[in-house]
């Protein structure tokens, strides 16, 4: 035998996937993507989703105002406990995106908070009006951060 293949396929996990996810895997399969890679990807994805669901099931809602997007993170060197990032303020558009993010543990305690400033490239040039808009949005984000 030339090489050992993993047994099974991504379809072993299909009943745990959403319709949309199954369609993405079917498209990749038809495109000729490596079957072993598809299986590994499906397995890893479902392990991650199970982790997300388990965390959500036991988590306390953090006391954070404003729109939020939640994503659980595995423990890392900074925080040996599981935590999630809660986006408090998201201001997309213009030459930059500004996000206020709080790292919150399973008990809803804020572990830390940051402001992320994202530009489409490192060579962003701004007009005076854009610079003022960004400064205003940064001030709003700083106010949100202080209120966490």
| More reliable by pLDDT, 7 or 146 | 146
Cα gap 146→62, rounded to integer Å: 15
Residue 6 confidence (pLDDT): 45
Q: Three-state SS for 39?
A: helix
- pLDDT for residue 4 is more than 60: no
> In what order do the strands lie in the sheet containing 83-91?
70-73, 83-91, 97-105, 110-118
pLDDT tens-digit series, residues 84-124: 877 776 666 667 777 888 888 888 888 888 888 777 666 66
* H or E segment and range at residue 112: strand 110-118
pLDDT tens-digit series, residues 45-60: 888 888 888 888 888 8
Residue 89 confidence (pLDDT): 65
Q: What is the pTM assigned to this prediction?
A: 0.55
If you ran DSSP here, which 8-state letter would residue 12 be given?
G
């Amino acid at each position: 035998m030339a090489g050992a293949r993993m047994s099974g396929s991504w379809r072993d996990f299909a009943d745990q996937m959403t319709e949309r996810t199954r369609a993405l895997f079917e498209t990749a399969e038809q495109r000729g993507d490596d079957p072993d890679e598809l299986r590994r990807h499906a397995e890893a994805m479902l392990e991650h989703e199970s982790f997300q669901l388990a965390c959500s099931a036991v988590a306390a809602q953090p006391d954070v105002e404003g729109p939020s997007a939640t994503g659980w993170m595995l423990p890392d060197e900074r925080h040996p406990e599981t935590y999630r990032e809660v986006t408090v303020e998201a201001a997309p558009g213009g030459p930059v995106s500004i996000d206020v993010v709080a790292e919150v543990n399973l008990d809803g305690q804020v572990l830390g908070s940051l402001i992320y400033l994202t530009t489409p490239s490192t060579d962003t040039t701004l007009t005076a009006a854009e610079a003022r808009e960004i400064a205003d949005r940064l001030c709003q984000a700083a106010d949100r951060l202080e209120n966490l």
